[in-house]
């Protein structure tokens, strides 16, 4: 992995500041057929690109041998300021491949102290509703099961935000965290679907029915509570200062 990331750095003339794994392999939902999803944040080695007429390359996508995407530091920081949910998940990934100058710890601090629980909650609530709408209850496949899993996952984050009203690593519904976030019925359904996915099997019809009822109940119970959550803080100053430090720019 490290050699492969080094090749990307050489090809695109960038420095990768942070690289991690996301998706099912990061959160413990993977089966033998699961893809390996890599995400990274980078800066251009030639700082002049940030002061040129044409903007620097903001997104790098590489499809082989991993499903990988990288964001330029300016793009990443603009999205951090908006409480981007992808960066929330990247910041708490347990599988880290590059971490220059303790980048992950600083990223986590920004997320924990400045992110908007309201924005995150609304994102995951809308995501759950969209996934549920796209789930075909009459034709249950591995894809439909994956939909149920990620719908429940999103709603567990919504529930966690509603209860704690803060952003932290404990919101990520790993098997361990779900025991703290979810009720006993929620834990059972969630873990049953995870275990079935890991084995490339399908849960029984009764569990599908319970999962659908649970999802609808969670949407009803926590949908309104999101509106009362905090809107976060203005991250412009700390992000600018961090950006200037990364790019080696200091004012008088």
| pLDDT over 60 (residue 15) | yes
- CATH number at 14 reads 3.30.460
How many domains does one find in the chain?
2
Same domain, 107 and 133: no
Which residues pair with residue 41 across a beta bridge? 18, 71
Q: Which tens digits make up the pLDDT trace of 97-141?
A: 999 999 999 999 999 999 999 999 999 999 999 998 888 767 788
Does some domain include residue 252? Answer: no
Domain membership of residue 173 as a residue range: 117-228
Q: Which tens digits make up the pLDDT trace of 137-195?
A: 677 888 888 899 999 999 999 999 999 999 999 999 888 888 888 788 888 888 899 99
Does some domain include residue 121? Answer: yes
Same domain, 224 and 127: yes
Nearest Cα residue to 140 out of 214, 203, 192, 185: 203
Same domain, 155 and 65: no
* Percent over 70 (pLDDT), the chain: 99
Same domain, 150 and 193: yes
Cβ atoms 140, 208 nearer than 8 A: yes
């Amino acid at each position: 992995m490290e050699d492969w990331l080094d090749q990307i750095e050489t090809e695109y003339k960038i420095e990768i500041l942070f690289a991690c794994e996301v998706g099912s392999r990061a959160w413990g939902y993977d089966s033998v057929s699961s893809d390996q999803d890599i995400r990274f944040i980078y800066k251009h080695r030639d700082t002049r690109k940030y002061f040129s007429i044409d903007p620097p390359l903001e997104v790098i996508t590489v499809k082989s041998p991993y499903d990988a995407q990288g964001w330029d530091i300016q793009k990443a920081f603009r999205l951090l300021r908006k409480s981007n949910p992808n960066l929330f998940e990247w910041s708490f990934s347990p599988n880290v491949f590059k971490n220059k100058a303790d980048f992950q710890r600083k990223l986590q601090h920004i997320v924990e102290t400045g992110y908007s629980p309201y924005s995150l909650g609304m994102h995951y609530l809308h995501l759950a509703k969209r996934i549920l709408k796209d789930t075909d209850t009459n034709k249950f496949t591995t894809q439909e099961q994956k939909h149920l899993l990620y719908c429940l996952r999103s709603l567990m984050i919504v529930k966690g935000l509603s209860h704690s009203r803060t952003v932290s690593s404990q919101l990520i519904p790993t098997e361990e965290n779900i025991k703290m976030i979810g009720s006993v019925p929620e834990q059972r359904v969630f873990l049953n679907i995870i275990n079935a996915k890991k084995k490339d099997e399908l849960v029984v019809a009764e569990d599908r029915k319970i999962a659908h009822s649970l999802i609808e109940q969670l949407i009803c119970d926590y949908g309104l509570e999101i509106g009362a959550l905090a809107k976060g803080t203005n991250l412009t100053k700390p992000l600018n200062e961090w950006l200037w430090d990364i790019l080696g720019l200091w004012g008088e």
